[in-house]
């Protein structure tokens, strides 16, 4: 679920509150901004909060509101308190709240009624309504349709998804489904999942990073060089077909030399280097190198 710091970072849109957290997904501050390629008004639901952003001038949805935040209050199960920011159009905002919650209903276990009672949703959902020719802001002229998104996913699935999963630290599964507009029923398209027998040495790396996440760079000294290797398996599912590909991962958490290089070049990452070699030979997965 989103932390208060995450919400504040989104308010600043072009600034990442995670820039000083080198172990955190989203540390480069560009993830949320990429949503505006497709939408002018992204909606986010997490915990007890539903929020949307409308930074166009004038706003797309409800002029003059550049966005709104609804916070469910669990102190009274029969009366939900809605704490809104810049909510001058009460009736329209209430109708918008209802319509968005209906959109989320049933997706990934979300229950509208429980949310309205003040029971937090234990996760985060995004809704990116496509801009249209009739209703768009001044952020972009690009108009997306569902078939374009499916084409983007297929390219990502074929070229980049395996690489992403192999080197992510927290995400284990990424899947793509179609959701019908009227019933919110999900139709599975494809997915990839990661399984590893991560070595004791890699766990030492992760533990060291976790213990020193607030000041990792200063914690790194010459004695912390750790090299390890382990096997990772990627299970790829498309429709009813399943394929499993094994990879050998070489991983190294480097020392002061790499730390100094990162600092001198103002690189926000940490000196953790990894390389993947495909072990399965039945089918070769294209995996281009990336710095």
* pLDDT of amino acid 15: 46
- pLDDT over 50 (residue 260): yes
Domain boundaries of the chain, sorted by first residue: 4-143, 153-278
* pLDDT of amino acid 97: 92
* pLDDT of amino acid 10: 79
Rg, C-alpha atoms of the chain: 22
- pLDDT over 50 (residue 85): no
* pLDDT of amino acid 16: 41
CA distances from 151 to 32, 154, 181 (A): 21, 5, 19
Predicted structure pTM score: 0.74
Only one residue has tokens 């940490």, namely 270
Name which residue leads in pLDDT, 129 or 13. Answer: 129
Average pLDDT for the chain: 78
């Amino acid at each position: 679920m989103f932390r208060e710091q995450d919400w504040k970072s989104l308010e600043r849109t072009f600034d990442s509150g995670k820039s000083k957290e080198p172990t955190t997904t989203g540390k480069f501050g560009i993830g949320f901004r990429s949503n505006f390629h497709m939408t002018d008004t992204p909606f986010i639901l997490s915990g007890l909060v539903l929020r949307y952003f409308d930074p166009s001038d004038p706003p797309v949805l409800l002029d003059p509101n550049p966005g709104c935040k609804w916070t469910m209050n669990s102190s009274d199960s029969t009366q939900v308190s809605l704490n809104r920011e810049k909510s001058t159009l009460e009736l329209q905002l209430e109708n918008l709240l209802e319509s968005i919650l209906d959109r989320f209903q049933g997706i990934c276990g979300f229950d509208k009624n429980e949310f309205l009672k003040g029971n937090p949703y234990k996760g985060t959902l995004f809704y990116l309504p496509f801009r249209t020719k009739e209703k768009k802001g001044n952020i972009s002229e690009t108009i997306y349709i569902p078939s374009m998104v499916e084409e983007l996913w297929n390219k990502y699935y074929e070229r980049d998804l395996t690489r992403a999963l192999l080197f992510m630290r927290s995400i284990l599964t990424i899947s793509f489904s179609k959701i019908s507009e009227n019933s919110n029923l999900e139709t599975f398209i494809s997915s990839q999942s990661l399984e590893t027998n991560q070595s004791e040495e890699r766990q030492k790396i992760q533990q060291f990073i976790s213990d020193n996440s607030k000041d990792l760079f200063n914690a790194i000294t010459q004695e912390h060089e750790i090299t390890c290797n382990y096997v990772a398996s990627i299970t790829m599912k498309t429709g009813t077909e399943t394929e499993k590909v094994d990879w050998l991962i070489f991983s190294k958490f480097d020392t002061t030399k790499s730390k100094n290089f990162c600092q001198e070049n103002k690189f926000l990452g940490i000196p953790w280097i990894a390389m993947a070699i495909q072990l399965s030979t039945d089918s070769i997965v294209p995996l281009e190198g990336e710095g």
